[in-house]
Chain A
Amino acid sequence: MKRKFLPYAYLSPTLALLAALTIVPIVTVFLYSLVDNVIINQNPPVFVGLDNYAEVLTNRKFRGALSNTFYFAIVSVIAHFIIGLSFALLLNTRLIGNKTKALFRVIYILPWVFTASIIAILWRLLLNPHGVINFVLFELGITQEKLEWLSDRDLALNAVTFINIWAGYPFYMVSFLAGLQGIPDDLYEAGRVDGGNSWQLFRFITLPQLKPIIISLALLDFIWTIHQFTLIWMTTGGGPMRSTEVLSTYTYKAAFSSHEYSIASTLAMIILAICTFVGVFYVRNQRMADE
């Protein structure tokens, strides 16, 4: 009888924390999204049903933030994948000694060590109109003028996306390195015996073997990038003219700048819905890898 309850007893601290700090808050934020006059307001709350959702979804600012978020996330995920896999392949080559590879591995992982606010401030220094990147581009004759990377409406979104690419690829690289080392050598030998060239070996052995990792990483990264806040908040704050406004900065402003908590809660639920949608595929993929 006692044994039956043991697994639950071991899980109880976890379950208590998750119930109090994820399930209850999600229910709360959902209820907020159905009501007007919540939190800081003199008037009593009024139930408005889905009115807040209608208001948000028809708002031009929201659609701008939504398309910026997807652009930011999709470009980041693709670039992370390409850079992460290329670096992992480079570090997995037999042409270079192990000590050299270990050194390069540490250098390649460096961006991962820095927290988002530090990455933001570093790139604000590098991308400053008088900064070193403009100097190099100008000297190489690539640009004719000093570009305002983070305060030009046409450049800012690509600039923050680039910063996010720099910040995020090492996670892919590390996971791919572990994955590459798990591919049995026999597969490549068999491929070579069959006369495959290096591209074919990559296309028909490496890629399929890495597929489960690729799917996990891409889904998880997509979710993370969708709710990336710090990097954008500290580089552009969503500006100029909302050109880098993403769903998370928009939500934060709705809550803490304009104190529209009902609208902010509605936005929070929409972000949750997007992440949950992607999350379902992630959980499925994880389970398939488990079984």
Chain B
Amino acid sequence: MVGSRAHIRRAKILTWVALLLGAGFAGLPVLWMVASSFKSNLEIFAYPPALIDDSFSFEAYLAVLGDPAQLRFFFNSYLVAIFVTICTVVTSILAGYSFSRYDFRFKRVFTLLIIGVQSVPPITLMIPYFGLIVWLGLYNSYAALVLTYMVFTLSYAIIMMTGYFNTLPRDLDEAVMIDGGGSFVTLWRILVPISLPGIVSVGVYTFMLAWNEFLFALTLTRTNDMRTVPIGIHLLMGQHSFEWNQMMALSVLGSLPVLILFLLFQRYFIAGMSAGSIKG
């Protein structure tokens, strides 16, 4: 191949240009969010705009972290997301085990039901949930959020968990069964320990979905001490005359848990996703 060196050089330069353009598209808005969280509210729309200006300070962060009402949003979000994650992981392990290891009469119907739940719009369920949750006496409670979030986390979790269990050879559990262990023992002693990567990816994904939920948190809670982070940002927007720097600081702080989880577990997570929810 004549002139292939020059050809590769040109391809390399083009790739770099494309990579940097893409990085600007994806990253600059985020950079601006972080930069704005360090400005004073007066400098937010300064002309000409600067990434870092004289007003650089941690004041917006101190304001958010020093406000018990806003800290409460974080407490609520963590509490709800952790509960949803634990309940979803346990339930999906049981369901995934059933789908992966047993043949039963309604298996096909139930599989379709679980895949189908993914296409049910939350807005359709919102009106009956409102009535149901009030009727159960759970309006404005954590339980209301945990229960309703699970409807949407569970179907992904079960599909991912079943996919993971399917990759493990059946000989493993059959050996234990022959030795006299029951199916329940087999599941918790053998399958669960070796499925840890799958369980972690289910857990991380569930936590992300729960942390980000908006519609049910908006309609099923009423008082500010029950609001989660996404609703807290919504409230800040409505209240005082746009404290942009504080909203950006709250956004940065509110995104950190998911960002950290993602960076720590991205390998498991991407592998779990491709093995489970989306098949190719």
Contact = CB atoms under 8 A, between A and B. Distances in A.
Contact of A114 (B97, B128, B255, B271): B255
A13 interface: yes
A135 B48 CA distance: 8
B121 A271 contact: yes
B11 interface: yes
B123 interface: yes
A17 B25 CA distance: 41
B98 interface: yes
A93 B47 CA distance: 40
A123 B114 CA distance: 35
A227 interface: yes
Interface stretch (A48-56, A152-160, A282-290): A282-290
Dominant secondary structure at the B interface: helix
Contact of A95 (B15, B44, B151): B15
Nearest to B211: A115
A135 B49 contact: yes
Nearest to B147: A21
Interface string A116-130: 111001110110101
B26 A255 contact: no
Contacts, number: 266
A247 B123 CA distance: 9
Contact of B212 (A109, A116, A122): A116
A261 B126 CA distance: 11
Contact of B119 (A24, A107, A265, A276): A276
Contact of B22 (A13, A25, A108): A108
Contacts of B126: 251-252, 255, 268
B145 interface: no
Interface in B48-70: 48-49
B280 A210 contact: yes
A255 B120 CA distance: 18
B91 A213 contact: no
Contacts of A41: none
B6 interface: no
A275 B119 CA distance: 6
Most buried by B among A14, A29, A131, A272: A14
A10 interface: yes
B8 interface: yes
Nearest to B261: A113
B125 A25 contact: yes
A178 B124 contact: no
A271 B12 CA distance: 47
Interface in A64-116: 86-87, 90, 93, 95-96, 104, 106-111, 113-116
A93 B16 CA distance: 11
Nearest to A103: B23
A121 B233 CA distance: 8
A149 B121 CA distance: 28
A35 interface: no
A98 B51 CA distance: 30
B121 A226 contact: yes
Interface size of B as a range: 35 or more
B39 to A, nearest CB: 11
A179 interface: yes
A104 B123 contact: no
Nearest to B107: A7
B230 A118 contact: yes
B26 A110 contact: yes
A212 interface: yes
Contacts of A114: 30, 251, 255, 258
A268 B44 CA distance: 40
B234 interface: yes
A279 B26 CA distance: 30
B117 A252 contact: no
A181 B8 CA distance: 22
21 contacts: A11-B110, A14-B91, A25-B132, A32-B127, A107-B23, A109-B26, A113-B258, A117-B231, A118-B233, A122-B30, A126-B29, A126-B32, A170-B26, A179-B274, A182-B280, A227-B124, A230-B215, A234-B237, A265-B127, A268-B126, A269-B124
Given A86-B18, A166-B29, 9 more contacts: A17-B154, A32-B128, A96-B15, A115-B230, A125-B32, A210-B280, A223-B118, A247-B123, A276-B116
Interface of B: 8, 11-12, 15-16, 18-19, 22-23, 25-27, 29-30, 32-33, 36, 44-45, 47-49, 91-92, 94-95, 97-99, 102-104, 107, 110, 112-132, 147-148, 150-151, 154, 158, 183, 211-212, 214-215, 219, 229-231, 233-234, 237, 244, 247-248, 251, 254-255, 258-259, 262-263, 266, 270-271, 273-274, 278-280
